[in-house]
């Protein structure tokens, strides 16, 4: 399926329009490499190019927030060499792309316990977030050592501490109180969650936030994803009728 350019993108009357917040489970790098008899890291490298194209296309579409699942809290189970390759790529990506992200008005944010990537990457990530904090175009959220269950556990611990300190009444804890303590606090609600590579699971990504998100599973492997695929995904979203339990 090829997508229409932004100016002619048909979102349909009464459809969902352009999503404010899109999240992507960027899956299939390894299979992309395997199909070409290349090492897995070649798939991750090509995947970084797909990230670049997707961020640009998100800007064109006027998507406010793009959240990308780059490394899960379960991905530490991979061989040490692959984890090292992924860390190296993240470092390389930040060094190579930060100027362009900043110049394009992109605001970077990180979710997940990224401190586990070590002091150098932690400092680089925090510098990048601080440097782009005032930017006004797309917010790019990178999920690093992110796991949704762990995120919810941390929110519960924070609330428990506040109850113990006497600053919050347990009876007053509502969905907003939990949302405010998630890593995604203050971001607009998740509208569209895309997973590439033909797998139909969430792999511990944005479980709370996906409560009413539209889900889209595509067979494209992440390294083959880009502008056309994002436009097609947004067009598909635009034809949907979101009901949120109502009629």
**Gap between the Cα atoms of 186 and 49, Å rounded:** 29
Q: Using the rule CB under 6 A, is 27 a contact of ligand IPE? A: yes
Task: Compare residues 159 and 202 and give the one whose CB is closer to ligand IPE.
Answer: 202
The site partner of 86 among Mg ion, ligand IPE, none (C-beta below 5 to 8 Å per kind) is: ligand IPE
∠ Cα 226 195 135 (to 5°): 60
Candidates 49-57, 64-72, 126-134, 174-182; binding stretch for ligand IPE (CB under 6 A): 64-72
Q: Using the rule CB under 6 A, is 69 a contact of ligand IPE? A: yes
Q: Using the rule CB under 5 A, is 64 a contact of Mg ion? A: no
Closest CA to 51 of 245, 240, 226: 226
Candidates 19-27, 58-66, 122-130, 134-142; binding stretch for Mg ion (CB under 5 A): 19-27
User: Using CA atoms in the order 236, 241, 242, 243, what is the torsion angle rounded to 10 degrees?
Assistant: -160
Place of tokens 């798939």: 43
Q: Using the rule CB under 6 A, is 29 a contact of ligand IPE? A: yes
| Residue whose beta carbon is closest to Mg ion | 27
Q: Using the rule CB under 6 A, is 147 a contact of ligand IPE? A: no
**Gap between the Cα atoms of 214 and 231, Å rounded:** 15
């Amino acid at each position: 399926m090829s997508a229409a350019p932004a100016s002619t993108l048909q979102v349909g009357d009464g459809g969902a329009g352009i999503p404010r917040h899109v999240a992507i489970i960027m899956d299939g790098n390894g299979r992309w490499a395997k199909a070409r008899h290349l090492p897995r890291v070649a798939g991750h490298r090509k995947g970084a190019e797909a990230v670049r194209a997707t961020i640009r296309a998100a800007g064109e579409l006027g998507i406010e927030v793009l959240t990308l699942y780059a490394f899960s809290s379960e991905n530490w189970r991979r061989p040490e060499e692959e984890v090292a390759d992924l860390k190296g790529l993240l470092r390389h990506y930040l060094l190579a792309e930060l100027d362009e992200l900043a110049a394009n008005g992109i605001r970077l944010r990180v979710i997940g316990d990224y401190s586990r990537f070590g002091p150098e990457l932690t400092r680089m990530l925090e510098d990048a977030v601080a440097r782009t904090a005032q930017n006004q175009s797309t917010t790019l959220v990178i999920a690093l050592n992110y796991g949704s269950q762990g995120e919810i556990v941390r929110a519960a611990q924070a609330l428990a501490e506040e109850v113990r300190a006497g600053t919050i009444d347990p009876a007053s804890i509502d969905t907003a109180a939990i949302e405010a303590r998630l890593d995604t606090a203050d971001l607009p609600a998740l509208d569209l969650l895309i997973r590439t590579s033909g797998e139909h699971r969430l792999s511990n990504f944005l479980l709370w936030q996906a409560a009413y998100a539209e889900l889209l599973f595509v067979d494209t492997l992440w390294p083959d994803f880009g502008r056309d695929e994002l436009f097609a995904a947004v067009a598909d979203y635009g034809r949907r009728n979101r009901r949120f339990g109502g009629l």
